[in-house]
Structure 1
Amino acid sequence: MLKLAVLISGGGSNLQALIAAAEDPSFPARIVCVGSDTDAPGLAHAEAAGIPTFVVRPRDYHSREEWGQVFAAAIQEHGVGTGPEPGLVVSAGLMRILPGGFVREFSPFLINTHPALLPNFPGAHAVRDALAAGAPQTGVTVHIIDEGVDTGPVLRQASVDVRDGETEDELHERIKQLERPLLVATVREIAERHLDLEAVAAGRDPGPA
């Protein structure tokens, strides 16, 4: 059973999808903790499901690296990132760039969702940027987090056609409809060892799509 640490900053819709998936006894992963960099409303979903939560605020530390060390330690206290089975850290709406030390501690067992078809439109305004560029298609990417900004190896993607005249919020909502099941499916593939994160990080064949 793969141990998951889920990181959020907001409402936690991706977290909700993972919690719902993990309620099925056949799902090969379980969420052992949910962490945030702020008092995120999504923490209530974890608390309602009986999942331990923690908040580590960057403003309480002298540097990003110090914050990252404490954040990493809070995850490791729940058995993710330690021992022979490393578990998986899922950034599911954490709206903060993770410091290098944190990334090195967990990667490649550290994944993120991004609302674009990377390498197109990295960064915090991916949906807005896709619309501004007149892209006919965009979507969502699940990728390994590396020390760049949305530059890590791609694991899985799903695409959506951009509709004429739709707003950023409308397009983002349609992307989210793809994002939740894609994240759940990718976590399942990792847990069932159909998707090898170390192979992906090393540039080898990750396994069947």
Structure 2
Amino acid sequence: MTKLRQRLAMAAAIFAFALNAHAAIGSASAADVTLDGQQADAFVYQQGWNPHAGPQGDPSGIGTAFDAFGSGSYNLLDKYDSNQGFSNTGTLTFTFTETTGTNGLWTVTNTSATSIVTLDLVFAIHAGNQGGAWLFDDETIQPGETLQGDWQILWTVGNNNAHPDFSNLTLFERNMVTTPIPEPGTYAMLLAGLMVTGVAYRKRRGKQG
């Protein structure tokens, strides 16, 4: 009888933990952050995780949640909070605005006029001593292009299940590739070469006929 009671107590504890976890995450999902009109490809949530921590940020809360989308470690791109905005020193620059404490807008811009940037981009928010990260897998940004998006915080805290206000934002990248595009002169040379080849081909056909 004692073992049965212990098993029942353990089952009750596990059930209570599951209820608490569900209450904490609320209705948060991959749809809470968008970019270029598309929701994130994946979402991960972790209590007690602050992705902003440390000079290089803290990607540890991402864990293995995004492994299905490829391998490789995550690197800090930029950080934002109310005291200090983005550094915006790389090829990609960002903006972030709050409409309220729990939602707003953001953008990412490829400042290069000659290169396409492709990367796995992670948008990670800290709010209410909890962290959420959204993955935009294999995102492509054309030269000079700005992609716009929105964000909202839908996990909950406290007995009243309120949505916590934004604290800070950290952006991570993985597998970032910069691909130069041909300069206009290269296209002109290619077109001229094709024209010469076409003329030579027609001449050969004329002689054969």
The TM-score normalised by the length of structure 2 is: 0.23
Report the structure, 1 or 2, having the larger strand content.
Answer: 2
Report the structure, 1 or 2, having the larger helix content.
Answer: 1
The TM-score normalised by the length of structure 1 is: 0.23
Structure 1 or 2, whichever has the larger Rg, is 2
